[in-house]
Amino acid sequence: MNTNKTIGAVIVTGTTLLLAGCGSTPTTGNINASQAANDTQAVSVVAAEDKTDWTMPLDEYLVSDTHAVSYGEQLAISSCIEAAGYDWPVPWQDLTEDELASYSDSGQTLFNTQLAAVWGYHRAVTVSESTKSWDAFVAYTHTFDDDESFGKVFDNCLNTVRAENPVPDTNDQVYVYGLVAESLQRALADESVLATISAWRTCVAAGGIEPAASPDLMPTDAIKAKFGIDNDGTQTTTTPSAEEIAIATLDAGCAESSGYDNALYIAQRDIQNDLINADTERFATIKSAVTSYETGIEKLISTYAPEAE
């Protein structure tokens, strides 16, 4: 689980549209993730919970499927916009595709051996007819960016839809995302997590790579520069090289074998449970609003979605 990334909340407002994601392990030199992992003395304990998706207690208090939200609302407003004289050709979307495979439901960057073996340190990109059609639609919507008359029509249509299916309070969503970030920072400083870092560093070094001070600081600036990943997370290359995949797979394998992933997962999970239990009434209200909104989005999609292409 690589945590050297940002966590963000997204709620569609005004004329802003959401766009969710659109777009054998080799070894190089003396890098051998399997051998390096076996050379460590730390024992990995597999948590019963699903670490692969980094499922956390706070997830259910957030509107996580932002692409479904955008799709549902754009479908619902299309007839209103078209009645005002504008074309609004919302394309069919395959919501079974995992367009945000590199992120957990609460927006944390996922990093594990499965992702590393395919994407290295790059974010997973889903490219399909569905994602390409959505990209084209979003590009089309931007042709109205400077059209004030259209902006008023759009806002009126969207507000009408949201009057019937209210968006969860933005302050509540920001509050929960803040707690997600807080829980991560506290977990990173937890003694159980810190106790695994030495084993992780030993494992990575045994694979021939200079490790960062801790797993959350990977990839290092030198690795980012080498493989086309800017410090702000921008990917200047679209596909990872065999060498990048080898290094990332080593890194992820060491995080697992050292017990780092397991310790971080348990620490963050427990911290989030404590935060929820400290304010159960507020969280019950937030969950109710999120559940109602997401149910409404599902109804919009089932009512207005075109036939599958």
| Domain edges within the chain | 33-304
CB burial of 246-259 (b: ≥16 within 10 Å; e: otherwise) equals bbbbbbbbbbbbbb
Contact 127, 23 (CB under 8 A): yes
Which comes out higher in pLDDT, residue 260 or 231? 260
Q: 18-32, 64-78, 96-110: lowest mean pLDDT where? A: 18-32
In terms of Cα–Cα distance, which of 265, 300, 282 is closest to 3?
265
197 and 191 Cβ atoms separated by less than 8 Å: no
State if pTM tops 0.75: yes
Contact between residue 261 and residue 112 where contact means Cβ atoms under 8 Å apart: yes
Measured CA distances, 45 to 196, 197, 208, 230 (Å): 12, 15, 25, 34
Q: Residue 44 has what pLDDT?
A: 38
Torsion of CA 281, 286, 292, 294, to 10 degrees: -150
* Mean pLDDT of the residues in the chain: 85
Model pLDDT, residue 228: 85
Instruction: Taking residues 111-133, report their average pLDDT.
Output: 91
Confidence of residue 19 (pLDDT cuts 50, 70, 90): very low
The better pLDDT of the pair 100, 74 is held by 74
